[in-house]
Amino acid sequence: MDIEIKKYLFDIQESINSIEKYLGGKRDFNVYMADKMLRRAVEREFEIIGEAMSRIEKIDSTINISSKRQIISMRNRIIHGSDKIDNEIIWGTIIRHLSTLKIEIENLLK
């Protein structure tokens, strides 16, 4: 695997770990919504994940990561439409998809 791709995979892994650290063991949507700094930190990590995913896609589109296009699209919505960020979609992504992405990234880095 290309060293540049490994760097982007590592960036994604770091951002996933950061999101998990920010949220702690207790994941509560109401706590998330009440804390603007937490929301902005999570959004920033998703920007990093999406940007890294976009760069991986440009280097080697055959790398198999589920929801690759959706992750890149979310990054674009966060960056270009900050007034239209849907916190429920971000939260749903955290709850439903982040653990799968984490496993996929860990497997690619092995």
- Quote the longest CA-to-CA distance of the chain: 42
3-23 and 87-109 helices, crossing angle to 10°: 130
Per residue in 96-106, pLDDT (tens digit) is 999 999 999 99
Residue ranges of the chain with per-residue pLDDT less than 70? 82-83
Q: Is 107 helix (H, G, I), strand (E, B) or coil?
A: helix
The contacts of residue 75 (CB under 8 Å, 6+ apart) are 46, 47, 49, 50, 51, 53, 54
pLDDT score recorded for residue 79? 84
pLDDT score recorded for residue 32? 95
pLDDT score recorded for residue 43? 94
36-59 and 87-109 helices, crossing angle to 10°: 50
CB 16 within 8 A of CB 101: yes
pLDDT score recorded for residue 82? 61
d(CA 6, CA 29): 32
CB 33 within 8 A of CB 39: yes
Q: What's the whole-model pTM score?
A: 0.91
